[in-house]
Amino acid sequence: MLKLANISVNRKLALPLFAALTGTLILLFLSANALKNNLMTEREARLNAVLTLAMSRIQALAQSLPMEQAQQAAKEMLNDMRFDGDNYIFVMMNHDVLSSIPSEKSWLDSKWEIRARKILV
């Protein structure tokens, strides 16, 4: 039978330490998982807010302009929209066809400008 008197002193001291480390690791895992879930929920909420804003602006354009002008204005508006720094919105139609994506020329120009500045300095 397992009695406390039969266990060596080293193991008696190691058992609470092992239990504390195990508990700490479990709490660390749970808190990291909760943090990840909170960050993802917050990011989804921000993205939903941006998409709601874009949809409301597109609907306003559709009500105030003829169809072709509204589509062109919506593409220009979406090309200019940015959120969380340099993130952009694009439109994907059926069959994986991109209908609207911000121009890469401005992105490339800014990247080359940054590289040129680094080289000159």
Query: SS3 letters for the chain?
Result: CCCHHHCCHHHHHHHHHHHHHHHHHHHHHHHHHHHHHHHHHHHHHHHHHHHHHHHHHHHHHHHHCCHHHHHHHHHHHHHHCEECCCEECCEEEHHHEEEECCCHHHHHHHHHHHHHHHHHC
Q: What is the pLDDT of residues 59-109, one digit of tens each?
A: 998 899 998 888 888 888 888 887 777 777 777 766 665 556 665 555 544
Whether pTM exceeds 0.85: no
Q: What does pLDDT average to over the chain?
A: 79
